[in-house]
Amino acid sequence: MNSKFIFIFFSIVLFVSSLSVVILQNSVHSVICLVLSFIASSGILLLLECEFFAFLFIIVYVGAIAVLFLFVVMMLDIKDLPTNKTNNLKYFIFGLFAAISFLIQVIPTVTNYYQFNHYNLSIFNNILTNWYSEDIMTEVEALGQVLYTHYVLQFLVAGLILSLAVVGVVVLTINLTAKNLATNIRQISRGSSA
C-alpha cells in the first residue's frame, strides 16, 4: 500500500479525533478521542521515520497521561452540564480570531519554503533537502550514540537522581506500611481476644 494513502488516513483520523476532543460534551468520550489522536500522531511519526518519538508518544502520552486523565474523569463522575448557546458563540468568535491570527503568521513561512508545483496533485512541493534518504542509521541508534558518548556523564547523573527518587519513595512507603501493619496487628489481636 502506498505510504501517501496511509499518511492521509492518519491525518484524517488525527483531525477528526482532535476536533472531537473539543466538541464532545461527555468528558470520557473526549479523553478516548484524545487517546485516538495520540495514536494517530504516533502513526504519522512512524511514517516520517521518527521511531523514537512515535513510541515515546504511545508510552508516555497514551500509556500514562491519557489513561490518568481517563481514570480521574471516571472517578469524578462529572455530569453533563447544560450549555448556554451565547457562551459558545463567544468562544467560537475567539477561536476563529486565534485561528486566523495563527494562519497569518504561518502562511509567509509556508510560501517561503515551498513552491507551487504544476505537475503533482499536491499544492506545494518541498524544495528542502530530503534528509530521510540521507540517513544511514535509525533515530534510536543515533540517540544512543549521542547519549553514550558525548553526554554519558549527564546520562549517569540523571539515572542516579531517578534511582534516588525511587529509593526515597520505597523508604517512605515502607515506613507508612510498617505503621499501618502494627496498627492492624493490634486490632486483630484485640478482636481475637474478645
- Answer with the residue of higher pLDDT: 194 or 163: 163
Q: Count H helices, E strands: the chain?
A: 7, 2
DSSP structure class, residue 49: T
The CATH number of 1-79, from 2.40.30.170, 3.30.460.10, 1.20.120.1200, 3.40.50.11810, is 1.20.120.1200
Q: What is the mean pLDDT of residues 169-193?
A: 63
Q: Burial letters for 44-70: b for 16+ Cβ neighbours within 10 Å, e otherwise?
A: bbbeeebbeebeebbeebbeeebeebb
Axis-axis angle for helices 3-23, 27-47 (nearest 10): 160
- Local confidence band at 138 (pLDDT 50, 70, 90 cut-offs): confident
pTM over 0.75: no
Report d(CA 108, CA 92) in Å as an integer. Answer: 25
Q: What is the mean pLDDT of residues 141-157?
A: 81
What is the residue extent of each domain of the chain? Answer: 1-79, 86-136, 151-194
- Answer with the residue of higher pLDDT: 92 or 83: 92
Q: Is the pLDDT of residue 58 over 90?
A: no
User: What integer pLDDT is reported at residue 121 of this predicted model?
Assistant: 47
State the chain's mean pLDDT as an integer. 76
Q: Lowest-pLDDT range, 5-19, 27-41, 81-95?
A: 81-95
Report d(CA 39, CA 62) in Å as an integer. Answer: 7
Say what percent of the chain tops pLDDT 70.
66
User: What integer pLDDT is reported at residue 18 of this predicted model?
Assistant: 92
Tell me how far the alpha carbon of residue 184 is from its chain's centroid.
Answer: 42
